[in-house]
Structure 1
Amino acid sequence: MDSEMNEEKEGCVFSPPQHGEISLRRALELIHALISSTYCIRFFPVKWRLIRDKLEQLLSGLSAAADGVDCSELMKLLESVISTLYEAQVLADKCSDESYRGGKLLLKSDVEIIASKIEQQLKILYETCVISRVLTHSQAIILLKPAAGANREDMKFYLKDLIARLKLSDSKMKIGALSTLNDALHEDEKYVTIMVVEISGGVPLLVNLLELGDTGVQEEAAEAIYVISAFDSFKGALVTAGVIAPLIRVLEKGSELAKVRAARALKKLTENSENSWSVSAQGGVSTLLKICGNVDSSGELIQSACGILKCLGGVDEIKRFMVEEGAVSVLVNLSKSKEESSKIQALELLTMVASDDDIKHLVVKEEVVGSLVQVLDPSSPHSSKAREVALRAIENLCFSSPSSMNLLMNSSFLERVLFFLRNGETSVQESAIKTVSRLCGLSETSKKVMGDAGFMPELVELLEAKSFPVREMAAEALCGMMSVPRNKSRFIQEDQNVNRILQLLNPEDEKSATKKFLLSAVMSLTDSKSVRRKIIASAGCMKYLEKLAETDVADAKKIVKKLSGNRFLSILTGIWS
């Protein structure tokens, strides 16, 4: 190879290494020429593409050093670089020569050696000129991000370069380096692992950057911490580095974007209940409630703040402290927000916070019932999600208090629930029937009111709904309503009601509603002579009941026994006649 390197080529840009500025200029010329040669490679094109990436980084670094930097170490490096470039050009010519018949394994080995030399020289340039701060911000070497599938060492080297920039005092450089770091962390989780596990001081550095007053640095640092917090295995490293207190300070004084990013990170961290106490101890509850009560807070920030409070509320002591800090008033006001996402978050949090009757009474006293019923208005633009949340909140907050129930029954609540039983999407329908089923179990008064409002025909329709939970809850509610005599009379007056229930007792019909509740309803209906006659007259229905009785279904046995006695008397009456 040495003899070939000494051959003269007319017009060739290569010549023995020079010193000083000439050597630097010559190195740049050689790199440009070699990069051009790599596009014509025939053998090992993938390896040469990686070499070209390294050459472009080397070119960027040496170009930055071309502004008259007086550095003896740099001059020593240039001599080594030019020598390597000379060897590399000879190899590039061989790999481009279609007539080459030499040993391919040896040639491949030589290419790998050259690639290793260039990589090593790039690292020396980085250490000489970046870490030693010889280059200013405007001259700083900008490393290219390793290509997809790069080895771990290249990825680590790239992150180390970014960390070096973060340690410099220039805030613009910090922001640029953090932005680039975030791109890498979002793109490949390997960078996250290297950042946390393999780079000493990487996570503490990000935490320290949160404390800087510079808005841009704070925003980008909060984003990097959020990305890391999304990995359960790395949350401990963030907490150990003391990230919780700085995140809360960002929530107090940071820009809107910094607050949003800090809240996202804190929400991830508080998914682990062990961190809830740290957040509370650092004044996080008061800060988060202040965000929720601030009309200028964005919907995204409020959503994250409510999410954190929900996580904190999983600890009973912290939940009580939230109430003491005025959470009820803040959340009731937020539940009246015009922005639906904020309304939903507030209602879900209120439902969680109101865990005892005293707090529920306090919530209702804040006139939240009207706001909840308004969400159920079919003409309002609220989403199905909002209506489901409102129904759950009504069930949780209003059903345990007579005064709350009076408010509810005197509103348009039943009318609107009935509408969603008839016309709601499946998810809203399920929430509505769950509310109705529970309402039936509260008092005789509620059953009477529901019967007068026309709920029974809708419940009969739902006995054949596609959703099994809907069918089951409809059967349970209907069974409960039968305990009111006037509901039972109203039900019997419609022949089709009785017929549909009897048909659903078919043991072979797997899609029918739960037999337990239907049999209880039929048992109650058999107090009526007309119903007993109807069942006896229908051989098919009697067969269903007898089959169920044979499988030891208690209510079915009772009904068959009751009907058999009546049927025997009917036979005797016919004989005597």
Structure 2
Amino acid sequence: MQSDLDMASASLSNSLYDLDLLLRSGVLHQSNAIVLSHPGPCSSKEDLVFFIRDLFTRLQIGGIEFKNKALESLLHLLGRDENSASLVSKEGNIGYLIHLLDFSHNSSIREHATTAVSVLASENDESRKCVFEEGGLGPLLRILETGSMPMKEKALAAVEAITADPENSWAVSAYGGVSVLIEACRSGSVVTQSHAVGAIRNVAHVEEIKNSLAEEGAVPVLIQLLVSGTSSTQEKAANCIALLASSGEYFRALIVQQRGVHRLMVLIQEVSNPDTLEHVLRAISSLSGFDSSTRILSSSTAFIIQLGEFIKHGNVLLQQISASLLASLSISDGNKRAIGDCMGSLVKLMESPKPVGLQESAAEALSSLLTVRSNRKELVRDEKSVMRLVQMLDPKNEVVQCKIFPVMVVAAVVGGGTSQGCRKRLMAAGVHHHLQRLSEMKVAGANKALQRLSGNRLLNSIFSRRTWRE
């Protein structure tokens, strides 16, 4: 008797709770509250708001079939447009929707709820913020350990979207999610790997999480994805490695130990995506400070030639990083001759004031290539490049305000035993006159370049006298 009374009391309590929820939701005040049709494309905002509140009421009071139908209707609504997600996050009970992700619920309900939360997290900033603030990150990470593969894919898409906001990234560590994400990279599907490495890339910006990534073995996993991942996965993995490589000696040593330089060099020959190439080059640039890495990079003819191709045909960021690498590596004369045809592009880059540092990188790379005699002869035969150098040397040219860089290039051309023919070509182009002016202005290196261009003191004296008379 007591047991029956307890069961009846519990049933009545549940019914009272459901009735209270119905009353507070306001859906009973509408004539069509029992059977509610999907709002059409031209429905008013008021109709949409009522429909959303009705859906979430049904989610909370119905059985399994009732909840599944409500979730299906919710997914149908979310698939309409971005505004629907904003309205759902504002008017719906997102906290309860996240509660349905728990493994104690029916599997079909969990799958539908996971899909809905994933859409909300991925759709826009407003709905994504709502999912995070309602505590969605923790349950989504738990799905990666207990859910089916389709659920894991949707959960990881949501985690990647949530962690794209720097203010949310720190929470991954609080939920113990670093090891979960790394494991998803190791053993997940193609889709889960892409989203997992994207989430790792996002959290790699957080200083406190970087050490956890190293301790949990993220570096070898990321390097492996450079080879075995899809193009999207490779791009995200390369981005993450570039971030870690720029973080300090500890991470650079880990990447080098895992043969990361070799993997990056292989990838640079295989991909064409500019974003991936930029990340790869940035990572290589950070790793080039190691002696072992420098030897590998400097001795690879294929890599050096690829840098020359980027300088000629890449976007401005690829050009800048490639020029910087050429300037820093110890390249053989043979490899310098092999990429001599990129010198004209380097001269042209010296005219670009942006991005910052581009002129310096181009000038230093060009000066390095001009240590080879044949390259010096080739450059002075290029009339367009010589004319550009003359214009850059002109004190009146305000586009290139720092005259040190064109002076550096001229000094490289006339230095190292340049033939008299090279000097004559530069003289005929008007280099001497501008150098003399720059020397008077105390521009660093101008006087020395002027002396080299003149060839000897007597010739220098003659040109000085001629300039004075003019």
TM-score over 0.5 (shorter chain) = yes
In structure 2, what is the equivalent of residue 174 of structure 1? 67
Compare CA radii of gyration and give the structure with the larger one: 1
In structure 2, what is the equivalent of residue 137 of structure 1? none
Task: State whether structure 2 residue 286 is matched by structure 1 residue 396.
Answer: yes
Name the CA distance, whole Å, in 2 between partners of 1:180 and 1:232. Answer: 23
Name the CA distance, whole Å, in 1 between partners of 2:337 and 2:146. Answer: 54
Name the CA distance, whole Å, in 2 between partners of 1:269 and 1:515. Answer: 48
Name the CA distance, whole Å, in 2 between partners of 1:240 and 1:145. Answer: 28
In structure 1, what is the equivalent of residue 222 of structure 2? 331
Q: What is the CA distance between 1:412 and its match in structure 2?
A: 4.5
Which one-letter code corresponds to 2:30 in the other structure? K
- SS, match of residue 167 in structure 1: helix
TM-score, with length taken from structure 2: 0.76
Task: State whether structure 2 residue 163 is matched by structure 1 residue 270.
Answer: yes
Matches within 5 A, 1:200-219: 202-212=93-103, 213-219=105-111
- Cα-to-partner distance string for 1:37-61 (whole Å, 9 max, x where unaligned): xxxxxxxxxxxxxxxxxxxxxxxxx
- Cα-to-partner distance string for 1:7-66 (whole Å, 9 max, x where unaligned): xxxxxxxxxxxxxxxxxxxxxxxxxxxxxxxxxxxxxxxxxxxxxxxxxxxxxxxxxxxx
- Cα-to-partner distance string for 1:527-560 (whole Å, 9 max, x where unaligned): 4572784167416444554676788755556655
In structure 1, what is the equivalent of residue 322 of structure 2? 435
In structure 1, what is the equivalent of residue 234 of structure 2? 343
1:420·1:432 contact (CA, 8 Å) conserved in 2? no
| Larger deviation, residues 332-341 vs 503-512 | 503-512
Distance of aligned partners of 1:331 and 1:573 in 2 relative to their CA distance in 1, 3 Å threshold = closer
Matches within 5 A, 1:128-527: 130=34, 141-148=35-42, 150-199=43-92, 202-212=93-103, 213-229=105-121, 230-294=123-187, 297-337=188-228, 339-354=230-245, 355-377=247-269, 380=270, 383-397=273-287, 399-418=288-307, 420-421=309-310, 425-427=313-315, 430-431=317-318, 434-442=321-329, 446-449=330-333, 452-464=336-348, 468=352, 472=359, 473-482=361-370, 487-494=371-378, 496-497=380-381, 501-504=385-388, 505-506=390-391, 507=394, 516-527=404-415
- Cα-to-partner distance string for 1:259-287 (whole Å, 9 max, x where unaligned): 22222222232233343332212121011
Gaps in structure 1 of 5+ consecutive residues: 1-119, 131-140
Distance of aligned partners of 1:450 and 1:308 in 2 relative to their CA distance in 1, 3 Å threshold = farther
Name the CA distance, whole Å, in 1 between partners of 2:443 and 2:338. Answer: 31
TM-score, with length taken from structure 1: 0.63
Q: What is the CA distance between 1:246 and its match in structure 2?
A: 0.7
Name the CA distance, whole Å, in 2 between partners of 1:448 and 1:190. Answer: 59
In structure 1, what is the equivalent of residue 30 of structure 2? 123
- SS, match of residue 135 in structure 2: coil
Gaps in structure 2 of 5+ consecutive residues: 1-26
2:85·2:120 contact (CA, 8 Å) conserved in 1? yes
Determine what percentage of the aligned residue pairs are the same residue.
Answer: 26
Which one-letter code corresponds to 1:489 in the other structure? R
Matches within 5 A, 1:85-104: none
1:179·1:220 contact (CA, 8 Å) conserved in 2? yes
Which one-letter code corresponds to 2:306 in the other structure? V
In structure 2, what is the equivalent of residue 62 of structure 1? none
- SS, match of residue 143 in structure 1: coil
| Alpha-carbon RMSD | 3.8
2:97·2:117 contact (CA, 8 Å) conserved in 1? yes
1:536·1:567 contact (CA, 8 Å) conserved in 2? no
Name the CA distance, whole Å, in 1 between partners of 2:286 and 2:332. Answer: 22
Name the CA distance, whole Å, in 1 between partners of 2:289 and 2:147. Answer: 42
Distance of aligned partners of 1:208 and 1:546 in 2 relative to their CA distance in 1, 3 Å threshold = same
Name the CA distance, whole Å, in 2 between partners of 1:415 and 1:283. Answer: 43
Name the CA distance, whole Å, in 1 between partners of 2:432 and 2:342. Answer: 26
2:380·2:422 contact (CA, 8 Å) conserved in 1? no
Number of residue-to-residue matches in the alignment: 425
Distance of aligned partners of 1:158 and 1:550 in 2 relative to their CA distance in 1, 3 Å threshold = farther
